[in-house]
Amino acid sequence: RCIFSSDQEYAFQVVRGDSDKLLIYFQGGGICWDQLSTTTLHPTPCHTSLRPQPGSGIFDRQRPENPFRHFTVLHIQHCSGDMHIGDVRRWYTDLSGSPV
């Protein structure tokens, strides 16, 4: 769940490729530790909304030298501010002061 989202669902992206090759990719996104770090610091030290991965680097399927171009990619998107290791529920307010 993204920090400023009321949606309780978790989202990830699958980029289909060969069924016998799997790459699990944890998107970078930084870390936020409290409301101050998510709403006051600019730029914020973490992503607070989902961002699709651009088609470059290991996601560039057209580049022959990309060793992962034929892999199925499970893209674990990051917008929770916990660097993929958090297990705490914390309630925040959005920029207008409404609880999320």
- pTM score of the predicted model: 0.66
Residue appearing with tokens 């929770």: 80
Structure-token pair, residue 52: 């699709």
Handedness of CA 49, 55, 57, 58 (dihedral sign): positive
72, 15 contact by CB (below 8 A) = yes
* pLDDT tops 70 at residue 8: no
- pLDDT for 91 equals 67
pLDDT tens-digit profile of 39-61? 777 777 777 777 777 788 888 99
